[in-house]
Structure 1
């Protein structure tokens, strides 16, 4: 049974949430570079220095917000992948691509902050690298399963193919977030999946 929080602990949890929510708002309004901890504290309606009790700097605060955001993506990437046929695999992969890009588009404001931050913050760039690896590991697992079922070519290196597949999706994700993409999510899903399936899976 989970132990109930004391009033002091509950207050600390609520304060942390206020800081995170204020941080999210200011990051979206100002962008990562222009945002300061002072602005976040003011938005949260807290005393000066309060944020530093919970977060060392704005980089650490953004990383926690990014981790929360990424949970939506992980749910897509790490969903059960146990196809018995190539057709089942293709259906699953198409759905994952569409959901991945759709979430990025829905969360475009925070994703834009992340995109900016990973270019100027060593800590955020490091966390993004860790996030990339988590996705790649998940894709590698799916490819390995497909190979074990005789659906995918065994002469291909699953870790290498997984890396290429993730980076292809990531490129279109950032283009979608920044508004640079001239293609619909459906077009990207169809074309990417076609290339992936015909390069990796047995027909």
Structure 2
């Protein structure tokens, strides 16, 4: 499988039979998966063992760099602006009963050099039963969300939507500080404590 140029936590990158797991990745169900947000890098393993003997050709290593490492030259500093219909990754910064405020980190596959502020209003969380949506059951501060830009909004905010199966929370940390995994379209589970927490979950890749 072809791996993406930018990975989000939990995203499969390749088969563990074809690649070795490097920094920023882990192995799950025979797949190399991203553990952090950032660009995917492939490199060859050292073909010499500690004894100095050449080993059989080992599989290449897949790793994920932290997104801050992208800004390595002047070209990388050119910021990309979110546009209507663009899919973005954002971090939830605060919530209230009417909306979640987020900081947009990635537009498409381009990591932003500056953060843009966006809003996910309660009516834009999901496509059905909008009158039953509760922001506090959908998002928590610190969550990483995949969303779609639906309006350029006002001068300070982009309006975003998670009303799609592929949109919603892609990474969440439990109250106990552990990275959780999705178990349904509306719940994440803490692998350490076993406690579940409500979220508007994005369908995994």
Q: Give the TM interval when normalised to the shorter protein.
A: under 0.3
Which has the larger helix fraction?
A: 1
Higher strand share: 2
Q: Which protein has the larger Cα radius of gyration, Structure 1 or Structure 2?
A: 1
Q: Could you state the TM-score of these two structures normalised by the residue count of structure 1?
A: 0.23
